[in-house]
Amino acid sequence: MLAYWDSPTALPPMFNHGVSLSADGFDVVMICLAANAAGAAADPLVPGLSSTRLQIRSRQFFQRLLGPAPPRPLAAVQWAVSYFEFVIKSIAAALRTGADVYEANDLPPLLPAIVAARLRRKPVVYRAHELWSEATPNVRFAGFWRWMERSLVPKCDYVITPEENRSRIYHDELKARRPPMTIRNCPPYRPPTQSSRLHDEMRRRGRPSSTIVLYQGLIDSMRCIEEIAEASRSFDAGVVLVVMGTGFGRWAGATAALAEFERVVVLPPVPYEELAPFTASADIGVLLYRNDCRNNYYCAPNKLFEYMMMGLPVIAPNYPGMLTLVEGEGVGLCVAPDSPRAIAEAVNHLARDPEARARMRANGLRLSKARYHWATESAPLLQLYRSLARVGAAA
C-alpha cells in the first residue's frame, strides 16, 4: 500500500483495510512519508502489517532554507522537487517488497504504484478516497492532477471509491476499465460506550447543558464551521455546540476564532482511539460540507458512521448520498449546509423531541451493528484481494 501521508494511520480506511488483510493471512507493507528524521525506519503496527517510512530530504531542505511558508513560485518548485523524490523512492521501496498486489491510496502515489506493478507484472488497485483534482474549489496544480487522473486511472486493474456517485464519475468520465467497487468508509464495529464525558466537562466549566451538539474532525470553512457556529446563536436555552478537532490557517486557533459565539465550546483534539467516549457523551452529531466542489457534494465521511455507532442522531447536508443514508435510514436530519437558520431549526427540533432522538439513536445503533461497520463493508474487498493475490502470485 502506498500513501502520500506522514503516518499509516492518517487515513483510517487504508489502515483498517491493512489490518483486515493481515488478519486474513496477507503480509501488508504500508509505504508512506516519514513525519520527521527519526521516522524513516519501518515500524511494525500489528502482526502481518508493517510500514516503511520515506524521508523526503528535499522537502526538509526547502523547509530549512525557505521556512514553512515560502513565496508561491518557490513553494511550487519545492513541491515539484519533493514529489519527484517521493515518486522515485516509493517505486524503489515498492519493488523491494516483492508484492503480489500494489495499492495506491489517493492520486499522488498512483504513478509509483503503477510503475512498480508494471515492472513486476502484478495487479494494481487504486483506492480513490477522494475526487483528487476536485477535492477543494482551488486545488493546487489542479491541471496536473486532472492529467494524472485521465492518464493513469484507465491503467488500473481495479478502482475502489467510498461513494456510488464517485464510482460513476471514475467509470464514465475517467474511463476506469470496469465499474469501480464502492466500499463505504465505515469504522470497525465497537459497541456503544456509556459516557458522560462532555456533560461532565461542561459542568466543570460552569456551563451545564441539557443538549450537547458535537462537531468533531477538521475545523475548516469547507466543513461549514462558520454556518454551524452562527447557527448556535439561535439554539434553544441549554443547547451547546462542542467543537473538537484541529484546523489550519485561520482555523489553527479555533478557540480564538470562535470566541464570539457564547454557545460554542472548543475542546482540544484527542487521539482517534480515545475519541469514542467523547462522541458517545454528546446528544447530537453534526457534519456538513460546503457545496463548492463535487468531492464535497458527493461526500463520504467516516464521521457519519462514527456518530451512528455511538448512537448520535446526525445532522448532515441535503446532498444525494447523505439524504439516502441519513433520512432514508432514519438516523438524522438533512439540511441546507449554507443556512444557519436551517441548521439551528434542525438542532432545536431534535433538542425538543427526545422521542425522535431515541428513535434515531436506536436506528443508528441497530444499523451500525448489522450493516455499517468495516467487517461487513469490506467483505467484497477481501474477496477481491484474494483473487488478485492468486493472479499476482502466478504472474
Could you give the CA distance from residue 126 to residue 181 in angstroms, rounded to a whole number?
Answer: 10
Q: Which residues contact 137 (CB under 8 A, 6 or more apart)?
A: 292, 293
Choice among 61-65, 80-84, 130-134, 268-272 with the minimum mean pLDDT: 61-65
Name the grid cell of 287: 457534519
The better pLDDT of the pair 261, 249 is held by 261
Binning pLDDT at 50, 70 and 90, where does residue 176 land?
A: very high
Whole-number pLDDT of residue 44: 55
- Per-residue pLDDT of 28-50, as tens digits, reads 999 999 876 555 555 556 889 99
Choice among 216-220, 224-228, 348-352 with the minimum mean pLDDT: 216-220
- Per-residue pLDDT of 201-212, as tens digits, reads 999 999 889 999
Q: Which residues contact 198 (CB under 8 A, 6 or more apart)?
A: 212, 214, 242, 278, 281, 282
Q: Which residue has the cell 449554507?
A: 338
Whole-number pLDDT of residue 36: 64
232-237 average pLDDT score: 96
78-89 average pLDDT score: 92
pTM of the model: 0.91
| In contact, 319 and 256? CB cutoff 8 Å | no
Element (H, E) at 63: helix 57-66
240-251 average pLDDT score: 88
Whole-number pLDDT of residue 45: 67
167-193 average pLDDT score: 95
Count of CA atoms in the C-beta half-sphere (13 A) of 262? 7
271-289 average pLDDT score: 93
328-357 average pLDDT score: 97
Could you give the CA distance from residue 360 to residue 323 in angstroms, rounded to a whole number?
Answer: 14
- Say whether pLDDT at 215 is over 90: yes
- Per-residue pLDDT of 144-154, as tens digits, reads 999 999 999 99
